[in-house]
Amino acid sequence: MKITEFSSITSSSDSLLPLAIDHTLLKPEATLQQIDKLCEEALQYGFKSCCVNSIYAKRVSEQLRGSKTIVCCVINFPLGAASASSKAAEAQAAILDGAEEIDMVLPVGLLLSSSPPYSEIYHHVKAVVSACRTVPVKVIIETGLLKSDRAKVIACLLAAEAGAAFVKTCTGFSGGQATEGDVRLMWNAVRRYNADGAVNVRVKASGGVRTLESCLRMFRAGAERIGTSSGVALVTEQRSPLLSDEKGSY
């Protein structure tokens, strides 16, 4: 999908919205029954993926088999503070269990250091990208913890140079939320990788995207994927006849 397709989503083009949503359940206390419900909802509404912790990859893969909804797994979540080799190993294991996309967390503490070891940060992403081969990797940069635009741009560039398919705003576990400004900043940071009509690095907005209004703002800022546990509510709101009457301008 191209940015323009999602940025023009309206209440009358609801078929596009589910295709941009990673239907997400990442809380540590999630039960098997809740994971099963997540899969049922994803199949019912046609979401792009079910995004879960890697322990559930095989279970979710079995439930989604034969559908267009894919399995997205987070690794070393939400801290991103494990070794590069352990992240790569977890990613490989998740893929063997059925994961078709991998979301990893950048080692934010390294980037926040007084003399950031950029090559080491790059290596963390590259190790996972190499382990995943053709499976797309999304890199969470934790915008809420990176207090300067410069740090956010550097994080995006390191991820893109290492071969990430997406840069992603937040885990949602460190107090930060996706903002329109951060999404636009991230999209501008990776624009150089999307020349001549090719889109090689995209932006995923996650963290606090719970209303249709905020979702549409993220699309207009440049996001092509939304990570949220409120996917059902977003699609329901969009399909509401009342919403169509009141917000037809979207």
Q: What is the mean pLDDT of each run of 10 residues along the chain (250 residues)?
A: 55 78 98 99 98 99 98 98 99 99 98 98 99 99 97 98 98 94 98 86 97 96 98 93 42
Closest C-alpha among 85, 90, 92, 123 to residue 106: 123
Burial class (CB in 10 A: 0-12, 13-18, 19+), 163: middle
Does residue 233 sit in helix, strand or coil? helix
State residue 171's pLDDT score: 98
Closest C-alpha among 92, 45, 91, 52 to residue 69: 45
Contact yes or no for 214/177 (Cβ under 8 A): no
State residue 239's pLDDT score: 86
Q: Is residue 186 part of a domain?
A: yes
Two tokens at 248? Answer: 């037809």
Q: Is residue 250 part of a domain?
A: no
Q: Is residue 245 part of a domain?
A: no
Residue 8 CA to residue 148 CA, distance in Å, equals 30
State residue 70's pLDDT score: 99
Q: Is residue 149 part of a domain?
A: yes
Q: Is residue 93 part of a domain?
A: yes
Tell me the CATH number at 80: 3.20.20.70
Q: Total structural domains in the chain? A: 1
State residue 9's pLDDT score: 66
Q: Identify whether 27 is a catalytic site residue.
A: no
State residue 94's pLDDT score: 99
Catalytic-role residue among 48, 87, 138, 204: 204
State residue 14's pLDDT score: 63
Q: Is residue 248 part of a domain?
A: no
Residue 227 CA to residue 121 CA, distance in Å, equals 24
State residue 1's pLDDT score: 43
Q: Identify whether 168 is a catalytic site residue.
A: yes
Q: Is residue 242 part of a domain?
A: no
State residue 203's pLDDT score: 98
Q: Is residue 246 part of a domain?
A: no
State residue 244's pLDDT score: 45
Instruction: Give the pTM.
Output: 0.92
State residue 250's pLDDT score: 28
- Residue 96 domain boundaries: 3-237
Catalytic-role residue among 87, 138, 152, 168: 168
Residue 65 CA to residue 35 CA, distance in Å, equals 15
